[in-house]
Chain A
Amino acid sequence: MTSFVLAAITAIFVLAGFVKGMIGLGLPTVAMGLLALVMTPAQAAALLVVPSFLTNVWQAMGPELTPLVRRLWPMLLGICAAACSPLLAARAPRSAWVPCSRSTVCSA
Chain B
Amino acid sequence: MLALYGVLGLTSVEFSVPARLEPWLSLLIGVITGIVTAATGVYMIPSAPYLQAIGLKTDGLVQALGLSFTVATVALATTLVQDGALQISIAGASVAALAPALLGPMDARAHTLGDFPDLLLRRLAPARRTSGLAWVDLTGPITRRCRSRDLPVMTRRRIEQEPGIRSTTMHVIHRRGWEIPERLATSEHLVLNRRALLAATGAAALSISPKIALAQRISDLPDPTKDLYPASRNEKYTLDRPVTDEKINTSYNNFYEFGSSKSVASAARALKLRPWTIKIDGMVESAQEIGIDDLIRKMPLEERLYRHRCVEAWSMAIPWSGFPFARLVELAKPLSSAKYVRMETFLDPSIAPGQKQSWYPWPYVEGLTIAEATNELAFLVTGAYGKPVSKVQGAPLRLAVPWKYGFKSIKSIVRFNFTDQRPKSYWEALQSAEYGFWANVNPQVPHPRWSQATEELIGRNERRPTLIFNGYGDHVADLYRGLENERLWA
- List residues of chain A with CB under 8 Å of any chain B CB: 1, 9-25, 27-29, 31-32, 41-43, 45-85, 88-89, 91-93, 96-97, 100, 103-104, 106-107
Is there contact, CB below 8 Å, between A68 and B64?
Answer: yes
Q: Which chain B residue lies CB-closest to A1? A: B93
Q: Which chain A residue lies CB-closest to B360? A: A67
For B87, the chain A residues whose CB sits under 8 A away are: 46
For A50, the chain B residues whose CB sits under 8 A away are: 91, 94-95, 97-98
Q: Which of B60-112 contact A (CB under 8 A)?
A: 60-80, 82-83, 85-87, 90-91, 93-95, 97-109, 112
For A60, the chain B residues whose CB sits under 8 A away are: 63, 66-67, 69-70
Query: CA–CA, A88 to B189, complex, Å?
Result: 51
Is there contact, CB below 8 Å, between B360 and A82?
Answer: no
**Separation in Å of the B316 CB from the closest CB of chain A?**
21
Is there contact, CB below 8 Å, between A62 and B102?
Answer: no
Q: Pick from A14, A22, A85: contact of B116, CB below 8 A.
A: A22
**Separation in Å of the A6 CB from the closest CB of chain B?**
9
Q: Which chain A residue lies CB-closest to B435? A: A63
For B102, the chain A residues whose CB sits under 8 A away are: 17, 51, 54-55
**Separation in Å of the A69 CB from the closest CB of chain B?**
7
B434 interface contact, C-beta 8 A:
yes
For A15, the chain B residues whose CB sits under 8 A away are: 104
Using a Cβ cutoff of 8 Å, how many contacts connect chains A and B?
302
For A66, the chain B residues whose CB sits under 8 A away are: 359, 430-431
Q: A62-B63, A78-B28, A79-B30 are in contact. Are A52 and B75 (CB under 8 A)?
A: no
- List residues of chain B with CB under 8 Å of any chain A CB: 1-3, 5-6, 9, 22-24, 26-35, 37-44, 47-48, 50-51, 56, 59-80, 82-83, 85-87, 90-91, 93-95, 97-109, 112, 116-117, 120-121, 124, 357-360, 427, 430-431, 434-435, 449
**Most chain-A Cβ atoms within 10 A of its Cβ — which of B42, B56, B109, B358?**
B42
For B29, the chain A residues whose CB sits under 8 A away are: 75, 78
Q: Which chain B residue lies CB-closest to A51? A: B101
For B103, the chain A residues whose CB sits under 8 A away are: 13-14, 17
Is there contact, CB below 8 Å, between B70 and A57?
Answer: yes
Q: A45-B41, A51-B101, A59-B62 are in contact. Are A21 and B75 (CB under 8 A)?
A: no
For A81, the chain B residues whose CB sits under 8 A away are: 30-31, 34
Is there contact, CB below 8 Å, between A77 and B30?
Answer: yes
Is there contact, CB below 8 Å, between B101 and A82?
Answer: no
For B2, the chain A residues whose CB sits under 8 A away are: 29, 100, 103-104, 106-107
Q: List 18 A-B contacts (CB under 8 A).
A: A13-B101, A23-B116, A23-B120, A24-B62, A47-B97, A49-B73, A49-B77, A53-B73, A55-B66, A64-B60, A72-B51, A75-B33, A78-B34, A79-B33, A79-B47, A93-B40, A93-B41, A107-B5
